[in-house]
Structure 1
Amino acid sequence: MNERVLRVLEYDKIRDQVVSLASSSLGKAMARDLFPSTQLDEVEAWQQATAEGVTVYRLRGLIPMGGIHDNRGPLRRTTMGGTLTAAELLDIADTIMAGRRLKKFLHDTHEQEALPYLIDIIEVIPELRDVEEDVRSCIDENAGVRDTASSELRRIRGDIRTMHARIKDKLESILRSSNTQKMLQEQLITQRNERYCVPVKIEYRGSFDGIVHDQSASGSTLFIEPAAVVQMSNNLRELEIKEVREIDKILARLSGEIGEHAHVLLDAQEALAELDFIFAKATYANNLRATRPQMNDKGIITMRRARHPLIPRDVVVPSDLRLGEDFTQLIVTGPNTGGKTVTLKTFGLLTLMAMSGLHVPADDDSVLSTFDEVFADIGDEQSIEQSLSTFSSHMTNIVNILDRVDFRSLVLFDELGAGTDPTEGAALAMSILDFLKVRDVKTVATTHYSELKGYAYNEPSAINASVEFDVESLRPTYKLLIGIPGRSNAFAISERLGLRGDIIEMAKARLKTEDVEVDSLIRKLEQNQLTAEKEREKAEELRREMEQRMLDFEQEREAFLMQKDKIMERAEQEARKAVQLADREAKEIVEELRRIAAEERGQIKEHRLIELRKQLEDAAPAMPRDARASKAKPSARPLQVGDHVRVVHLNQKGDIVELKGKQAMIQIGSMKTKVTLDALELLPKEKAPTRTVVGRKGAEPKLVGLELDLRGYNIEDGIMKVDKYIDDALLAGMGTLHIIHGKGTGVLRNGIQDYLKSHRYVKTYRFGAEGEGGNGVTVVTLK
């Protein structure tokens, strides 16, 4: 692609706009290198990247691109053993963090909608959290080395602060001394050449013992370092040198650590640069309301409502542009200032944008092609130095184009054959078009010559087009009408401007009969096309309105279903709270009954207590969360007691403890519920160890787990689970329980053990042994 065409079509302005949208210097550098590709597979990949960037922009809005620095130079220095500055190390740490944050951001977005191209890029970005934290632990946000970077640095800086304080104390005692006050210009401690001094009057130079480091501009004041602090200042300087050396050691260590990962970080820099560039293209597409075109390499162009990207959106008039399928040459005729050149540039510029991986300002389903070359002869580019006329300048350019074109070229001619005798110019233009037709070159040409209207009419590979002109307002509408040649509208315009009617009639009389018939035919074609266009636009508007209504309906439907689910969930929670409250009250009653029975040796039967508890558990509500998901998959065999199942409408797992007809009693944790068999899905038996035990005489069999897993629970819910678990274990006759709470912060563990201390049926408890889970498990022995 030659630079002249890029300049003529103003491609550089598009590139500059993309550059301005990149966040980092790396991304901006890639955007400055933006250039069309002639390879379809490469263009498709670029378009995919931009499309995924647009998807991220649509789903997430603001993209976290901050904190990315160009660290390529410092990273390369570390591979050669160089030591980086604190600021350079901090920039690398910032970039590591930015890369890690962006990687997580894109992975999260990928879960919402697939982003294969972007995910492939970010895979080279390393975590390196330990490297980043090491740098930040040694260097503060202002690129200063922290005291805590090493124990030696902490000690040295402590000594430096102590020495500073001693020097200042000594100087302040000198300032307060009655013997020296008269010698001082003012009561002030200052620094000269990094040494502490006091201002001494010039006449007391011989009386004040010390080293002169500076003199005031007037010469009346000497800045003298008192002899009493010279040695302390020397000691201070030695400490400062040690500080510098220690800082150098710290920076060298950190640089070496970075150097070990330099190659990985350099790859990450390239990935971050590409991501920044992709998101700049995506932002540009969003700003332009551009869409992804379908690409081909057959020279087929079909752009729907295409807009020139450099004309403001509220001014530009969209046009449908076609080329390469039914015809290979588009001949656009009509008067000046009608918009022919804009149409020509839109063809060329949108093609170059698509070949660069940019989305184009056109409606969905637009089609563009890759070309080996795009040639353009647009505008008057004659050279004063070369003393070329307008015609000569254009012809020189056309000669160069004709020498290089082939079937993989797109050629744009503005006012083909202009600048010379109309008859000769028209003949020359038709010969050039014939030359290009034979070579199957895709061509768009604008012209004034009416002879070319006939050429396009008679040539099967060519078609006429014109830019619509409103005679009433005497303004062009800039809308391209393909299939209709342009009219000069000279008589209509002259009449609107007030030219005498008899002069217009005399002019019409001079026209040939065939010219009048052609003009009349063109007028009728324009009217028919305009009518068809209006009908098409009306149909399109109705289609968009119906699509919007369908979208609104779906959104309202989803909102209704979500609201319904929320109401059901809230009702279920309230019901569960009520049952839990009743359960607690019932347990208190049962415990009281046991106590009375134990004291009075009454005849209260244990199986009766179990039946009462079962009735409370059966009262737990079973409310479907989503009626749409209440159908279970059919089981491979009939369900039976002991099967592990999923209750579909509750989305909960449990075990069948009782079967009655078409209903089953399901044990879900501490809750039992009755459901129909068609609401159950058979699941594989869980591996968690359980045992079936029988409690006191007359009690029904009950499944009680050998361990209780509380990981993920808060303290309040965890204690409720433990309380219920101990009750079930007592009824089952179990003596030892394992409560899994995990290690974590220890909050849940401490809360559970505090509760066990005061539980009346807990004999002892301890942490698990090495094979039992250690501090993550509490082993309980019941009385």
Structure 2
Amino acid sequence: MELHTLQTLEYSHILALLEEQASSEMGKEVIRKLSPSDDPEKVRHMLATTAEGMDVLRLKGFPSLAGVKDIRSVVKRARLGSILSPTDLRKVAGTAYGERQVKNVIASIEEEETPLTILRGFMENLTDLAELVKSIHSAIDVDGQVMDDASTELARIRRSMTQLQGGIRSTLDQMIKSSQYQKMLQDPIVTQRNDRYVLPVKQEYRSAFGGMIHDQSASGQTLFIEPEAVVQQNNRLRELEWEEEREVERILSQLTEQVAECGEALLVNLSVLTELDIVIAKGRFGGVLKGVCPEIAEGGMLILKKARHPLIPLDQVVPLDVELGGERQGIIITGPNTGGKTVSLKTVGLLALMGQSGMPIPAEDGSVLPVYNGIFADIGDEQSIEQNLSTFSAHMTNIIRILDKVEKRSLVLLDELGAGTDPTEGAALAISILEYILAKGSPLMATTHYNELKVFAHSRAGVTNASVEFDVETLSPTYRLLMGVPGKSNAFDIARRLGLPQEIVAEGRSHISTDENRLEEMISGLTKDRRQAEEDRTEAEQLRMQAEHLHQEYEEKLQTLETEKEKLREKARLEARTIVTRAKRETEEVMKELREWAKARPQELKEHQLTEMKKRLDQAEPEASIRRSSRVTTTKPRSIQVGDQVLVRSFGQKGQVTEDLGGGEFQVSLGLMKMKVSEKDMEWKSSPKPAKEQGSTFYRRQSVDVKHELDLRGKMVEEAIPEIDKYLDDALMAGYPKVSLIHGKGTGALRTGVQKYLQRHPRVKEYRLGEQGEGGTGVTVVELR
């Protein structure tokens, strides 16, 4: 892109705002040099990457990469064999640690939540340098000092130095407190000269004090003397300091070798982390602007929805909608000065530059940008005193340069085209310039005051009029861009509103040509129609919102009804479960009583007792009376006869008809209770079978066939269990206190399965293997309760 265009559209201001969002040194440096790309694929990839960065910020946030430093020169020196300083090593550690920071964030976002295909690809290029980070952090503290425990030897040396320094200070402190030396000292303090501990001694006591002189005061009245008592200790301290320096140098050399070994991985990580910092900076910038990542158009179409100039505060900027490209190759914007024409041009140009730099733009979803190979702008007052050029000459010089470079994929922005010269000639020249650019196929936007250009835009195919709205009542612009409507000068209206006498205004209007009057009338009509359309659109939008509100309200009510239905279903299920549980409990009680009777008095069990028991079991079954009552019976009801099983609707229970009382009434036995029931209140269920009307009862016949043993040999455990369960019930009904289960010896699997089942059977008192004469281990003898 041309430097002139970047300066005109204030692109550097955008880079400065973007730089504030970066956290690393390298990221800020790269952003300062960032320029738009004219490669569609590269732009599309940059915007897709930025969109992923915005997703990461929305879902998890992102750590600061302030610890990532420019370590390129540090790595180079390490490779050349120089020993790195503790500060350099801390920079390396901070940069290496950035890899773990970003990996943790990306890994915490599930792929199902958002794929992050590009950013996850970045992670694959990062090398894990945790060992290097650990080595540096364990040796060098945050202040850039080598720590005592960086090595065992360094810890020993510093421990000895501390002890020796304590001894020296103790000796000197005793001398200060001694009455022998107090009169000789200028001040009762211990200080250092040339890294050796000394005392400030008065000049006149030089010989009496003794020791080595290391310095004197400016006046010569004070000498800094190292007493003979600590000379040897200071010498030893100096030796330990040399040892410390050598050990620190060894530690730093060792760490430097590690850095050199990881040099290539460090540089790759630095590059990836820098790129990530820029991506996240763009994402943060998008959040500040409340922006979106635009789509990239294939056919050169520009669509901006509610676009805002990024350098104008949100509470002051007026959004604009623009469509440029395709059948609409050019837009001619007219309107009063300070009405927002220039801002409209700059907004379109600057957003195009931002999009081609991979930045979000302050617009709404659905905005589309093409990728221009050149954006050319002639905006503002180009007057140059230094070059002795008038405004017109400066504009023409710039336009000539633009015309020489413009091509089909260029965007041309021209402000006040043809201004600065005779209006007639200026308008004619402006039209010819526009025709030249249109012939090249370049999309363009231009602002003007000339009526001739309004007519040109109205009659020229591919060109449309636009204007910035002006409120005559308040004498102020609204800054709204109106597409399809040319601007009106409003000079007479403004003059009249300001108080110019009406006769002067009327006289002025009479000097305007008929064509110009018709044009003004056409503009007024179009403006009125546009305003009416806006009002209609607003009303339609309100109606749409009301419809959506009603629809949402309906959906909520429907959801509430569904919830209530589900609650009712759940309540019904709970009630049904309660009924079934009660029925099962009643069944267990009947069976328990029946077994006890059969066991205690097998010969005394009467048929009517069994019948009563059976009726109680039938009555324990819950009736789905609601479901059955809802059915439509299409067949003729069967007549009720004595002996029939019937359902008494009013009780919801089954019973047996025992007597016909006449008059449509019957006596019905309901368990232990007999009552008179109307035929209308009964529903036929079944009639008694002839086979059951003769001989003994079913239970009595069954008991005759029950044997004292059950042969299970050759069966699997799964086959044997149901037979055992039925057999034990039959044996109980027959009154047998003890039975035998023959399972054979074999592998013992059947015996084990049978006995496990007997352990949990409620009617088994105990069991044992057969004794001699009973079958031994091939038989299990069961005692029933």
TM-score normalized by structure 1?
Answer: 0.70
Change in 2 beyond 3 A, CA 1:35/1:550:
farther
Output the CA distance in 2 between the equivalents of 1:325 and 1:267: 44
- The question of whether the paired residues in 2 share the 8 Å contact of 1:375 and 1:409 is answered with yes
**Structure 1 residue identity aligned to 2:5:** V
SS of aligned partner of 1:187: coil
* Number of the residue aligned with 1:129: 130
Correspondence for 2:267: 266
Distance 2:13 2:383 in 1: 23
Structure 1 Cα separation of the partners of residues 95 and 377 of structure 2? 44
1:524-565 alpha-carbon deviations (Å, 9 max, x no partner)? 2112222223443455567678889999989x999x99xx9x
Query: Does the Cα contact within 8 Å between 1:100 and 1:126 map onto a contact in 2?
Result: no
Give the match's secondary structure for 1:309: coil
Percent identical: 45
| Residue equivalent to 2:90 | 90
Deviations 1:79-118 (A, max 9, x none): 2222211122122222222320211101212533111111
The SS at the match of 1:467 is strand
Matched with 1:16 is: 16
Q: What is the rounded CA distance, in whole Å, between the counterparts of 2:282 and 2:548 in structure 1?
A: 28
Aligned to 1:155: 156
Q: Which residue of 2 aligns with 1:438?
A: 439
Determine whether 1:42 maps to 2:42: yes
Secondary structure of the corresponding residue to residue 240 of structure 2: helix
Match of 1:76 in 2: 76
Is 1:93–1:135's contact at 8 Å kept on the other side of the alignment? yes
Amino acid at match of 1:175: I
Shift in Å, 1:355:
0.8
Aligned to 2:770: none
Q: Counterparts of 2:160 and 2:175 in 1: how far apart (Å)?
A: 23
- Alignment check: 8 A CA contact 1:66 1:98 kept: no
> One-letter code of the match for 2:382?
E
Distance 1:333 1:428 in 2: 17
Shift in Å, 1:363: 1.1
For 2:335 and 2:32, how far apart are their aligned partners in 1?
A: 38
Q: For the residues of structure 1 that align with 2:64 and 2:552, how far apart are their CA atoms?
A: 30
Residues 696, 460 of structure 1: alpha-carbon distance in 2 compared, 3 angstrom cutoff: closer
Deviation at 1:180, TM superposition (A): 2.4
Cα distance in 2 for partners of 1:283, 1:107 equals 20
Deviation at 1:509, TM superposition (A): 2.7
In the TM superposition, 1:502-521 aligns within 5 A as: 502-521=503-522
The offset of 1:514, in angstroms, is 3.0
Q: Give 1:68 deviation, angstroms.
A: 2.1
- Change in Cα spacing, 1:119 to 1:551, as seen in structure 2 (3 Å) is farther
Q: Equivalent residue for 1:403?
A: 404
1-structure distance, mates of 2:418, 2:339: 19
Equivalent residue number for residue 533 of structure 1? 534
Cα contact 2:186–2:200 (8 A) shared by 1: yes
Residues 248-263 of structure 1 mapped to structure 2, 5 A cutoff: 248-263=249-264
Within 2, Cα distance between the matches of 1:298 and 1:379? 30
Counterpart secondary structure, 1:205: helix
**Contact 1:375-1:411 at 8 Å conserved across structures:** yes
Contact 1:85 1:251 in 2 (8 A): yes
Q: Does 1:56 align with 2:37?
A: no
* Structure 1 residues 489 and 263, CA gap change in structure 2 (3 angstroms): same
* 2:755 partner letter: G
| 1: CA distance, partners of 2:123 / 2:110 | 12
Q: 1:340 to 1:416 in 2, by over 3 A?
A: same
Q: Residues 539 and 355 of structure 1: is their aligned pair in 2 closer, same or farther, counting only changes over 3 Å?
A: farther
Take 1:693 and 1:70, find their aligned partners in 2: how far apart are those partners?
79
The 3-state SS of whatever aligns with 1:337 is: coil
- Aligned residue identity for 2:359: L
The residue type paired with residue 370 of structure 1 is: V
1:365 and 1:21 map into 2 onto residues whose CA distance is 25
Shift of 1:179: 2.9
Whole-angstrom distance in 2 between the partners of 1:550 and 1:193? 89
SS state at 1:197 partner: strand
- The aligned residue for residue 755 of structure 2 is 698
Separation of aligned partners in 2, 1:542 and 1:26: 53
Q: Which amino acid aligns with 2:84?
A: L
2:471 corresponding residue in structure 1: 470
CA contact (8 A) 1:199 1:224 kept: yes
Measured after TM superposition, the shift of residue 658 of structure 1 is 8.8
What displacement does 1:411 show? Answer: 0.7
Q: Unaligned 5+ residue runs, structure 2?
A: 571-716, 721-747, 760-785
Match of 2:506, as an amino acid? E
* Structure 1 position 291 matched with structure 2 position 292: yes
Q: Distance in 1 between matches of 2:157 and 2:234?
A: 15
Aligned-partner residue type, residue 251 of structure 1: L
1:101 and 2:101 matched: yes
Given that 2:62 and 2:105 are in contact with CA atoms closer than 8 Å, whether structure 1 keeps it comes out as: no
Q: Which runs of 5+ in 1 are unaligned?
A: 569-656, 661-690, 703-783
Q: Are the structure 2 counterparts of residues 659 and 161 from structure 1 closer, same or farther at C-alpha, using a change threshold of 3 Å?
A: farther
**Structure 2 residue matching 1:325: 3-state secondary structure:** coil
1:234-245 equivalence runs, <5 A: 234-245=235-246
Contact 2:106–2:120 (CA under 8 A) maintained in structure 1 = yes
Q: For residue 6 of structure 2, what is the aligned residue in structure 1?
A: 6
1:146 aligns with 2:203: no
Measured in 2, the distance between the counterparts of 1:180 and 1:518 equals 110
Structure 1 contact 100–125 (Cα < 8 Å) conserved = no
2 CA distance for matches of 1:199 and 1:70?
Answer: 48
CA drift at 1:699 = 1.4
Q: Give the direction of change, closer, same or farther, for the CA distance of 1:305–1:694 in structure 2 (3 Å limit).
A: farther
Secondary structure of 1:473's partner?
A: coil
Write the deviation string for residues 180-226 of structure 1: whole angstroms up to 9, x where unpaired. 23322233211112111112111110111111112234432211001
Give the partner amino acid of 1:103: K
Aligned-partner residue type, residue 45 of structure 1: H
Once residues 4 and 394 of structure 1 are traced to their aligned partners in structure 2, the CA distance between those partners, rounded to angstroms, is 13
2:479 pairs with 1:422: no
Match of 1:498 in 2: 499
Q: Following the alignment from structure 1 to structure 2, what is the Cα–Cα distance between the partners of residues 453 and 434?
A: 14
In the other structure, the counterpart of 1:114 is 115
Q: What is the alpha-carbon distance in structure 2 between the residues aligned to residue 541 and residue 84 of structure 1?
A: 70
Distance 1:550 1:204 in 2: 105
* CA RMSD in angstroms, aligned pairs only: 2.9
What does residue 212 of structure 2 align with?
Answer: 211
Tell me which amino acid in the other structure corresponds to 1:408.
Answer: R
Please say if residues 291 and 362 of structure 1, whose CA atoms lie closer than 8 Å, have aligned partners that are also in contact: yes
Cα offsets for 1:273-312 (capped at 9, x unmatched) = 1111111111111110111111125331111111111111
Q: Give the distance between the partners of 1:331 and 1:98, measured in 2 at CA.
A: 51
Distance verdict in 2 for CA 1:694–1:229, change over 3 Å = farther
CA gap 1:547/1:250 in 2 versus in 1, 3 angstroms: farther
Query: What secondary structure sits across from 1:326 in the alignment?
Result: coil
Cα displacement string for residues 371-404 of structure 1 (whole angstroms, at most 9, x for unaligned residues): 1111111111222121111111111111111111
> Cα–Cα, structure 1 residues 693 and 28, in superposed 2: closer, same or farther, change >3 Å?
farther
CA change 1:147–1:215 in 2 (3 A) is: same
Partner of 1:487: 488
User: What pairs with 1:164-183 in structure 2 (closer than 5 Å)?
Assistant: 164-183=165-184
Change (3 A) 1:22 1:538: farther
**Matched residue type, 1:105:** V
Deviations 1:696-737 (A, max 9, x none): 9721499xxxxxxxxxxxxxxxxxxxxxxxxxxxxxxxxxxx
Q: For the residues of structure 1 that align with 2:37 and 2:546, how far apart are their CA atoms? A: 39
Aligned to 1:687: none
Pairing of 1:277-316 with structure 2 (within 5 A): 277-316=278-317
Q: Deviations over 1:111-167 (max 9, x none)?
A: 331111111122222222222112122122222212221121122112212221222
Distance 1:124 1:54 in 2: 21
TM superposition shift of 1:342 = 0.7
Structure 2 partner of 1:610: none
Contact 1:11 1:349 in 2 (8 A): yes
Structure 2: how far apart are the matches of 1:478 and 1:144? 61
